[in-house]
A and B are shown apart, each in its own frame.
Chain A
Amino acid sequence: MTSERPNMRFIQGNEAIAEGALYAGLQFYAGYPITPSTEIAEILSRRLPEMGGTFIQMEDEIASLCTIIGASLTGLKVMTATSGPGFSLMQEAIGYAVMAEVPSVIVNVQRGGPSTGLPTAVAQGDVNQARWGTHGDHAIVTLTASNLQDVFLMTVAGFNMAEAFRTPVILLFDEVVAHMREKVVVPGPGEIEIFERLRTSVPEGTNYHPYLRREDGRLPMSDFGGVHRYNVTGLVHDMWGFPSTDSTIAYDLLHHLVDKLENRADSIARYKEYFTDDARVLLISYGSSARSALQMVVDRRKKGGKLGLLELQSLWPFPAETVREKCEGRTHILVVEMNMGQICHEVKKVVSRPERVFLANRFDGIFISPGDILRVLNMVQGKGV
């Protein structure tokens, strides 16, 4: 470990996730091994107990997510980590965390799919699964990053959002980011704000309604084992947390679950811009693909090309306003991703000139290169290949 500053570390992506989680206050981890996320579990099995937390390896990913949801209700900050096949198994319980509004963080280090796919190769094919994997109308927060400092920061942000919005948050990283090594500066305590759980101030003996929203839309929690006893269920429920089939209650609850995130899409939005001011061609990318996109932009700039990059760090709720605004007036928009166009499709939906949006992608397990992107740009600009 080379360190220029005491808190500067040269670490692997999966370690940056683990460190970010610990910085954010992780207290409980349950998981099941799967490439390329396994190091997160290995690191936390050592680090978490040292810090007074709990680590448990469960019998599968279904159990892992269910276990952390149970632990979260006792008041702990919780996380699990997996990859495609395990993420598929978690979908039902993600819906439970959405419905019961349980703060929880789920890391998916993406690999090639579908099915067992390409276990050790990079891909970004789970973007839509993160959004729509669980059944029923709902909203979800999904964050990502392209370098390890940002992996650390987005992990912290994910924990904060899980608490602020009482929601599961999906940290959607990929194999390249998870397995590369880079410098990460671990901030000192207090340098980044950490959100603690909002707990009810209703005193013992007074009725506490676990699902009665405050004026600001938030629902203060009460830990299991505390002075308030209440019911938690995945069924449509009333303010007591008790099952209801009342259509008004169902309508209101679904609206709340979606609105609490979609109506705050702007404040949830996280992105970075590179050379966008005067860019005629705008690249939009995220995760490890954004590294190649940035390299390509820098290379072309040296040759006088007016290119810029919008790097998305929040994918869901889709930052529609930001994307629409940043795409305005560009001659070409190139979405760079390692799937068959999952974010490209979203971009086309929100921009005023969808015919100017093109896809530069790979989905064959090979990391997309600046050259791959350039070839597509040349093609769409009519410069040939």
Chain B
Amino acid sequence: MPVKDYLRLRFLPHIWCPGCGHGIVMSGMIRAIEEIGLEKNEVVVVSGIGCSSRMAGYLDFHTMHTLHGRALAFATGVKLGRPDLTVIVPMGDGDALAIGGNHFIHAARRDIDLTAVIMNNRIYGMTGGQGSPMTPQGMRSTTAPRGIADAAFDLVELAKGAGASFVARTTTFHATELTRMIEKAIRHKGFSVVEVMSQCPTYYGRQNRLGNGVEMMKGFRDNTTSIGSKKREARPDLIERGIFVDEDRPVYSPEGLKAD
């Protein structure tokens, strides 16, 4: 099926700026769902609040656009109410890790069978460019004119430490890898986290002179490398992409663990 067959055309155009990375993530997600062969009625998309979270409304699945930071909690109710459904949770980095940080670590700890796709643009896009827990130290935001003082999270390490059984990272530049990872994450039984480094040219790009959307994506190409790549010997600052954790564990249910 063409991507547009998975969209609610009635609800378009979308709100995203030209060059925004969120649309790339959305098409990657659609491709992954198609690849797995899920029926539209088998998929629920639960999002919070943010530019990224608007994705839910555009998709022709059962969709829920909820509260800032709380998507994983709503999704937990949907999943426990209908364990047979595939529940995907697209989130922004602020949504997932600032206001929603507590729900994030607890969803990971439970290892509940949800797929969290976190669009990490390192900024609050929707509210106009304030710093997020993923904004690297020293970078600019509208509330940190001299650069951010706080250290950023390493999302992969956080998800691993909290107990997620599938943890991956990719970028909007690596579109094929993105689809493959989301596909694996959806197929995985347990809490799966896919960090997608995404671009917000409008706020993060402009404030930090990183160029337009395309230039920011080239930055993802130049500043990342596959897990275990030799390139990091020369350039330890390169961010690793790939699947960091993929463990088969008994499937979570609040009544106690069940064999798959």
Contact = CB atoms under 8 A, between A and B. Distances in A.
B70 A224 contact: no
B106 A63 contact: yes
Nearest to B68: A92
Contacts of B64: 70, 73, 224, 231-233
A28 B77 contact: yes
Interface of A: 28, 30, 49, 54-56, 58-60, 62-64, 66-76, 78, 92-93, 96, 223-227, 229-235, 240, 242-243
A232 B63 contact: yes
Question: Contact size class for B?
Answer: 35 or more
A28 B78 contact: no
A27 B78 CA distance: 13
A379 to B, nearest CB: 48
Interface in B84-98: 84-85
Given A66-B66, A225-B82, A225-B85, A242 B76 contact: no
Interface stretch (B54-62, B139-147, B205-213): B54-62
A64 B68 CA distance: 15
B202 to A, nearest CB: 20
Nearest to A60: B102
A330 B85 CA distance: 60
A62 B80 CA distance: 17
Interface in B22-60: 40-42, 44, 46, 56-57, 60
Contact of A67 (B56, B57, B77, B85): B77
B82 A62 contact: no
Contacts of B81: 28, 54, 70-76, 224
Nearest to B63: A231
B73 A63 contact: yes
A235 B70 contact: no
B230 interface: no
* 9 A-B pairs with the lowest CB-CB distances in the bound complex, closest first: A70-B77, A74-B81, A66-B73, A71-B77, A67-B77, A63-B73, A70-B74, A71-B81, A233-B65
B238 interface: no
B89 to A, nearest CB: 11
B102 A224 contact: no
10 contacts: A30-B77, A56-B80, A60-B102, A62-B70, A63-B106, A66-B76, A78-B77, A225-B85, A232-B63, A234-B66
B78 A70 contact: yes
A240 B63 CA distance: 12
A350 B160 CA distance: 59
A233 B11 CA distance: 14
A49 B256 CA distance: 11
B67 interface: yes
Contact of A55 (B44, B73, B254): B254
B70 A66 contact: yes
A331 to B, nearest CB: 50
B103 interface: yes
B75 interface: yes
Contact of B82 (A74, A96, A232): A74
Contacts of A243: 57, 65
A6 B62 CA distance: 45
A93 B40 contact: no
Nearest to A92: B67
A54 B254 contact: yes
Nearest to B75: A70
A232 B254 CA distance: 26
A328 B52 CA distance: 58
A227 B84 CA distance: 15
A210 to B, nearest CB: 11
Nearest to B65: A233
A69 B63 contact: no
Contacts of A64: 73
Given A66-B74, A70-B76, A231 B65 contact: yes
Given A58-B73, A224-B85, A229 B254 contact: no
A227 B254 contact: no
A68 B77 CA distance: 6
A275 B34 CA distance: 69
B46 A70 contact: yes
Nearest to B71: A66
A90 to B, nearest CB: 11
